Structure 1
C-alpha cells in the first residue's frame, strides 16, 4: 500500500505541470478569438469609421502634388458676379463664353452649371446658348442626381432638351458625402432606371479622345427598373491639393478676352461656380469645414486622377477583414514566449507597423485599408494578456482589498500632505521663519528660510526646543525629521500645537490601516474594519464640507428620503439652520419653496428620476427671497438613478438687478418713442404743404426711416415686457380666442399679399394659464413672419391640438424655408435669416426672440422644422389647465 501511494503521488507530481500549460494555451486561444471577433465586429459595424477617416485624411496629404497643366477652370467668382450681376445670368453671357473658347480650340469644355429650364423671359438667350453649344461641338453638360427629401424618391435633373440636343455628351456630377459631411468619394456610374450616366469627368475624356482605362458599367442594360437609383464603381477622390490648387481664370476675364492667347488650346476646360456666396462648395479632406472646395474643383481633382491613372479604391471587405483579424490575433500567440518588456515592444511595433502598412498601401498601391479596428485590438491585446497573467497569480480577495486601498489613496482627504507645500503655507499663518528636513544622522536634506542648529531631534509628536525656538517631528519611516524654526520670543500655543501635530500625522501618512495579525484571515478582517472606518470618515468629511456651503444642498434617495442636508437647506426648508431634517420625507418640507414658470415639484422629480435628466427652475421662498433650484441624478450602482442632489441658490440680488435693468430698458424705450412720434407728425405737416418732387422724396425717406426706428422701439418694449417676469398677470386664457384674435389682426396683411389664412382647430376650447395679450402678440409675430416669407398664392395654417396635458399650436407656411445651419440661432436677438434671393424683406430680428421669451415665461416649449424650399412649421406647447365645474 505504501508503494502504491508513492507511485500515485509521483504520477500526480508529473502530471501537475501539464495542467497550467493546457490552461494557458486555452486562454491564449480564447483571448485571440475574442480580440479577432472584436476587431471583426468593429469593422462590420463601422463604429470606428470616423477615426479611420481621420487617418485617411492625414495620409491623403502625402498624395498631394502639382496640378495638371492640361486642366483649366473658368470660375464664376466674386469678380464675375460684380461684372455681370446677380446669379443666375442671362444665357447670352454663357454663349459669349463658348464663342470665346471656340477660337482657342480646347479639347473639351464641361459645364458644372445646370441648365434645367428655359428662360421664359429671354428665349433669345436660350437660342444663342444652344447655338453656341452646337457650334463648339465639344461641350459636355451635367446631370444632377439628388434626393430632395430624406428618404424620398431620388430624382435626376437633366439639361433642357434645347441644350441637351446640342451637347456632345452628358454626365452626372453627384459627389457622395460621408456621414461627417466630408466629400471623399463618388460613383463613376449613377442613374435612375435605364438612364445610367457616367461621371462628368469620364465623359470629358471620351469627348476629348484621350485613351485612359475606363471602368465598364456594372449594371447590364435591360436589367434596370424605373425609379431605382443605381450607383456603381465607387472611387475615393485623390485630391491633388487644397482649394485653389488648379489653374483658374475668372469667367469675366474670358468673356472680355483678357487672357493670353493659347491658354485654352488643347486643354480640358471646366466651367463652374467658385464664389463662396453661391453655395456650390463642399468640405473635403484637404480643406476641412472652414474652407470648403468648390464643386468644379472637386471635379478637376477627379479628372486629373482619371487622366493620370491615380484613382484610389477602397479594398474589398474580404481582404480587409482577413488582415484585421490576423493583426488582432497574432500577438496572443507571441506574448507567452516574451517577457513583459519585449511584449510591450512587440505591441508597439505592431501598432506602428499597422499604420505604416495602411500608408504604404495608399501611397504605393492606391488602395485604402482602414487600420483603426486592428489598432484597437492590438492596443487591447497587451493589457488583456498582462491582466490574465496577473490574475493567475493573485487571489480574488487580495485583489479586491488592494483595489480598495488604491482607491482610498486616490482620495484627497487620505493623501499625505506635500512637505514643500505645507512648509510654504505655514509662514502665512504662523511665525515660522524657516524649515529643514533632517536625515537620521542629523544632516540637512532640504531647507528653506532661516535655519538654526537644533540641540536634539524629536522621537515623538511635537517637541518644542526653547533653545533654538524650533518645533520638530518625525515625518518619514526612514527616520527623517522636519524642523520648523520660529521667530525668537514666540512659542506655539495649544491651538498651534494641535495644528502642527496634525501636520506630523499627515507627513507620516496617517494611521495605518493594515492589519498586524500574523493570521491571514484575521489580517483581512482588520483591513475590512479599517475600510469601513474610512467610509465613515469620508461621510463625515462630506457632511462637514456641505455644512459650510452658501447654497442649500440636499441628497435625497430615489424614494423621497432625505439622506444629507446642510444648514442652509435646513434654513430654507424648515426655517431653522439647526433643524435636523435628515431621514425625513422630502415632500414634508417643500411647501415653503414655490416653483415659478408653472412648474411643479412632481414634474421635476419625475423627469430626474425616470429620465435621468438635469433640471433647474426658478422658485420663491415663503420669506420672499428668490431661489434657483437645480436637481441632478446621482448614480452609485450601474446606470440607474440611486439618489438626487438638490441645490438651492439664493439669487435675490440677481433678480433685483434684472428688474432694475428691465425698468431702465423700458424707460429708455419709452423715452425714445416720444421724439419719434413727434418727428412723424412734423414730417406729415411738411408733406401737407406740397413740397417739390425732390423734397417730397426726401421727406418720404425720412418718414420710412423714422417709422422703422419707431417699430424697433416698439419691439424693444414688447421684448422687455416679455422677458420681465414681474410684468406678467397670469389668468385663464382660451387659446382658441387668442388664435381668432390674431387671425383678425393679420387678415389685412395676408389679403394684401394674396395669401390664404386657415385655422385647423381640433378642440372647441383650450384653456391655459397665461397672459392673453402677450400670447396673442407672439402668435401675431409668427403669422406675420409666415406671411412675410411666403410667396403669393400660398396658404398659412394655424393648427391647434391637445397632446397629453399640453396644447400644441403650430403655424405652417409654404414659404421659402430656412437652412438647417440657421435654425440653432433663429430665436436669438437681431438674428435674421440671410437669403440673397429675398433681400427686399426687412426686419429687426426681434420678433422670434419675443416669441421665445413669451413661451419660455409661460413654461412652454417652442420648436421649428424647416428646409429651403419646403416651408416652415413653428410650434409651441403650453400646459393645459382644468377649469372648475360650475
Structure 2
C-alpha cells in the first residue's frame, strides 16, 4: 500500500517545493529593486501624509513671502536689508538663526552692504549660512561671510527619480572636508544635545558622486542618509513675514528660545520642491523642508530604510507561511490566510514607519502573496481534475447497480470535453446511488443505525444524528454500537452484543425494551443483514421511542376526566339553574340565582386555574434562583390572611432569625405553601390555630404546617397526593375544592429534590412536612 500511494504524495509535495522556490527567488529579485517601485513610493507618501503631527513651536520661519516682496522690492534685495534683519534678531534671545540665502559671490557694486552684512552676522553670533555642491565641488559663502558665520551647513536635497524630495544626507563633502546639514549645524550652534554626534541615518560612505565623467573627477561624499518625516502640509510651521520683522511689527520676545529660519516662501523665487505631503500640485519651500529636518532631529524621528536583510526576512517568512497554508489548508482558509498576511504586512510596515522610523517596503511581499494564491490554486485544480477524470473513467467501467439512461457522447469533442462527459455520467450514477440509500434510511421515522460486521456504525439517519448528538456524540460513523447504546437500561441487564448475536442466530428481528437516562422508553429493534452466502455483514438497529405515546395516553385520560367530570359538573349545574329560571313557580330570587351562578363559575375558574398550575408544575420550565423559605412562607401567609381572618383562624410562626436560604422557583414554591395553608384553614373549625415552623435539617430545611382541623382518615393517606383526590372526615361538611392542590404541592416539592410527608389523626388535626435541600451558598 505504501509503494502504491507514495508517488501520489510525492507529486504535490514536489510541485509545492518547486513553486515555493520560484516564488522565493522572485521575492529576492523584487526586494533588490524595491527602491525604484513607483507604487512603493506612492504608498510611502500616503502613509507619511496620514501621520501628520503638530509642528514644533520652537521652530519659526521668517518668510520672504509675496507681502515682503511687495513692501521691500524685487528680489534680490540689497544685502544691507539682511544686515538690518540680523541686527534686529541679534537683540532677541533666539537660539540660532539659519539664513537660507546664497551668499556665494561678493556684491561688487555695493561693497559696503557686504561689510554691513558680515558685521551683522558676526555681531549676532548665532547665524548659520548655507552652502551647496555643484558637479562635485562645494559652493561656499564668500570668505568674509564664512569667517563671520557661527557655522556653515549644506542645503542639498535628495530628489528621487519622480522629482519628489523625500530624503536628505545629514553630512556631505569631499574626502578632505565635510559639512553638516544646515539643520544639524543650527542644533550645534544652539547647543542642543539632539544635534551632537552620532548623527542618525543610514551610513553610506561609499555613496560618492563624481563631478564629471573624467577619471580624475573629484568625489562628493554623502553620509547619514535619512528620510524626512514631514509633520504636515506646506504652511504647517509658524511663519512671520520678513517685512514685519524688519519694521518691528513682531515683538522681540516672540523669538526668545526659538530656532529661526530665514528663507524664501514666495512661489516666484523657485526655491520649492514636491514632497510626500504636498505632491506636484503644491510644492513646499526649501526653508520649510529644512524646518521639517530640524523638527525630526529634535524629536528623534528621523526615518531610515530598514536593513535589506530585515525586509527580505519579512518577505520570505510571509511567503513561506502562505505557501505552507496553501499546502495544508482548504482553499477558503488559504485565501483568508493570504488576505490576513497581506494586511499584516501592510500594518507592520505602517507601524514600523510611523512608530519606529523604519521603512520596510511592503508591496513586493504583498504582490508575491497575491500571485502565490492563484498559482498554487491553478496547479492544485489541474491535479484534482486529472485525478477525478481517471477515477470517474474507472467508475464508469464498473457494473451499474441502478437502471439509468446513458446520455450520448458528443460526436466531436476534445479531451477536456470527453472527461467532463465521463465525470457527468459518473456523478449522476453516484448521486443516484447515494440518494437511493440515504433516502431509504432517512425515510425511517425512528433513529436508525446501520452497522458493519465489526459492530461499528456505517450509516445513521437524521433522527439518529439528532438523538445521539443531543447526548454528546459528535461523530456517529465509526463509533462502536455498544458505546452508543450503553446509556440505555434494560430490564434483563443483558449485553448488547448478546442481542446482536441472537439476531444473527435466529435470523429474525430481536426487540428489546430499554429506558434512557431521561426516563424515555424505547423499543430497540435489531435486524441482522446477510450476504448471498448467508454470512452476517451487519445489522440495522432501530430505536422506537414509545415514551411520548404513553405520556400522551396518560395525559389524554386525565384531560378527558377533567373535561368530562370536573369541568362539566359546574357547567351542568349552571345550565340546570338557567332552565329552572324559566318556570315561575320554581324560579329562585335574583340574589340567590346570582349567588349560585357565581359559585359554579368560581368553581370552574378554580378548576381551570389549578389544572393549569399543575400542568406548569409538571413541565420542565422551572426558574431556579436563590430564595428565602422564611420570606416565601410570609408571602404565602399574606395571601391567606383574609381567609384566615374570616374564619377566625390564628396562625403562629416559628422562623429562623437569619432566614432559610434555598434554591428554587419562587412562584411555584409560594403557590405550594399557599395551597397547604388554604387546606389547613378550610379544614379547621373557626377559632382554631395553625402553627408554621421552619427548622434546620441535616441536609436542608424542614418546613411544617400543623393544624387543629378535622384530620384525614388513615385509609385516605396513601392516595392523598393523587390528582382529583378529595377526602372529608366523617361528620364534617365538604368545604369544596378541585382535588389538585396537594398533587400540585407534591409535584413542586419533587421537582425541587425535596420530600413531602403527612401525618394526621381524625378529630385532632394534620401535619404536613416539607423537606427541601438548602442553598449551596
TM-score in terms of structure 2 length: 0.48
Which of 1 and 2 has higher RCO (CA within 8 Å, sep 6+)?
Answer: 2
Greater radius of gyration (CA): 2
TM-score in terms of structure 1 length: 0.42
